[in-house]
Structures are given as structure tokens and as C-alpha cells.
Structure 1
Amino acid sequence: MNLCLGVRNINSILNQIGTIFIPVSNIEKARKWYCDLLGLAAAGEILYGHLYIVPMNGMGIVLDSKIYSEENIFKTPVFHFNSNNIEEAYEYIKGRKVELTTEIMHNHWFNFKDPDGNHLMVCKC
């Protein structure tokens, strides 16, 4: 019996999300943009010429220029960044001249785009 989080696992697929791959057109520019956005040093190497693992707490983000095409960009957010102050987060994004796609909704979340047009979300935790 294989135990994961105290629940019997009936197969080898765990009920965990390891990482999200984000399609980006230019890996160097995307690394800088995401690291600047998250207040991280743009350190770490670009792997195989097209992958960058963003240092995250919790679920991971991998920027990948090999999978980029206009058809592959996220048209709706597939995850959200947590925030403990949604108003400050909104003003921070707005001040960075990032394209906002919503206002703060229900005092809980808002959406914006990265430079490649991927839709992203910030949500109050």
C-alpha cells in the first residue's frame, strides 16, 4: 500500500501539482520579467536553451520558450499568485505598467497579462 497524505493511492499518480509550464517567446526576457515581478534575483541558468525554473515557494513555474506559439498562450489564468493584500498587489502591478485585464473583483482577485499575452491572476489568500 502506497500512502500519500494519509490517503491510499490506487495508482502511481499523486494528487499533487508539481509545476506549471508557461509558454514564453524569449526565455531571457521572460526570466527577467517574472523575477522582477516576484522580487527575485534573475539568477539560475537557462536549461537546454529554452527552460527557466522560477524559484517559488510551493507549486513551481517553468518558463519554456520551446512550447511558445500564439495558440499556446494562456487565454485564461490556469493558476494564481497569492497575495496577503490584494489592494497593494493591484497597485504594484498597475505601477509596473503591466496590462491589467480586470479591476479587483469581489475584493478578492484580479487578472493581468505577461509580455507574451499569458493571462495571470493574483488572488487574496
Structure 2
Amino acid sequence: MKITKSPIHNRVNTIFIPVSDLQAAAKWYCHLLGQEYNPEEVKEPVYNMKINHTTGVLLDAGPPGKKQTVKPSAHPLFNFHTEDIDSSFQFVKELEYSVHSDIQRFEDISFFTIKDADENIIMICTG
């Protein structure tokens, strides 16, 4: 197969997270990322998180006026980066977030997973 130049960029642009309650999800993710939560900035059907990188995170509540039924993956589909896995683990415990897995440590990477209110599994990861 001949490889041709693709018009599709080799980067992830935006991660969509399906949610059933946009206000609650925005508050949860804002607190997780240490951002101020302002309910007046959250407008149906989507909320674009303030992310300090080229890859964005968009909370997606589905069609306006309809409560979306979320069917989360059994596996994390992305991660949020941390330099300090232990303080991050302690932080989410203090927020009383649902810890899905304890810290897993390997030579060059460590991670743990948490669940949001819709049971989406979010990985917090070094490396």
C-alpha cells in the first residue's frame, strides 16, 4: 500500500466526554483541574474546559433539552498528566472522588484511575 500525504493532522485536537448533567460535570472537572467553577459560563449542550495545551476537553451533554444516557467505556480513553502521582492521589481523595484503581507504579510511569459521576474512567498519569 502506497502511503500518501494525509490532510489529517497527526495530533489529538479535542477529547469529548459524554455527560448526563453538564453543570455537575463542569463543576467536577473544574475542581479536579483546580479551576474556578462559574455556573453562568456553562451553557447547554457543551462546555469547553479551559485546558493549557493544544488538546481540548469538551463536556458533551448531547442534544439540547434531552437528558443523555451515558454508556462509559470500561477503560480510560485518555489521561490527565501529573508530575506527582502521590499528591494527585491524595488530592482526589480529599475531593472525595471515586477512586477506581490505586496507584500502579512502573519504572517509567505511574497512574491511577477515578470515575466521574457518569462512570467515565479518567486516568491520572505520570510519564
TM-score (norm 1): 0.83
Instruction: Quote the Cα distance in structure 2 between the aligned partners of 1:70 and 1:53.
Output: 18
Whether 2:123 is the aligned partner of 1:121: answer yes
Partner of 2:111: 109
Alpha-carbon RMSD across the aligned residues, in angstroms, is 1.8
Partner of 1:46: 42
Instruction: Quote the Cα distance in structure 2 between the aligned partners of 1:26 and 1:60.
Output: 19
Contact 2:13–2:56 (8 Å) recurs in 1? yes
Tell me which amino acid in the other structure corresponds to 1:100. Answer: V
- Secondary structure at the aligned position of 1:87 is classed as helix
Is there any run of 5+ residues in structure 2 with no aligned partner, and where? none
The number of aligned residues is 115
Runs of 4+ in structure 1 deviating by more than 4 angstroms, as ranges, are none
- Identity over the aligned pairs, expressed in percent? 31
What does 1:1-125 correspond to in 2, within 5 Å?
10-43=5-38, 45-47=41-43, 49-58=44-53, 59-66=55-62, 68-71=68-71, 73-106=72-105, 108-125=110-127
TM-score (norm 2): 0.82
Is there any run of 5+ residues in structure 1 with no aligned partner, and where? 1-8
Instruction: Quote the Cα distance in structure 1 between the aligned partners of 2:49 and 2:74.
Output: 21
Instruction: Quote the Cα distance in structure 2 between the aligned partners of 1:54 and 1:23.
Output: 13
1:23-42 Cα distance to aligned partner (Å, 9 max, x none): 01111111111111111122
Instruction: Quote the Cα distance in structure 1 between the aligned partners of 2:77 and 2:101.
Output: 16
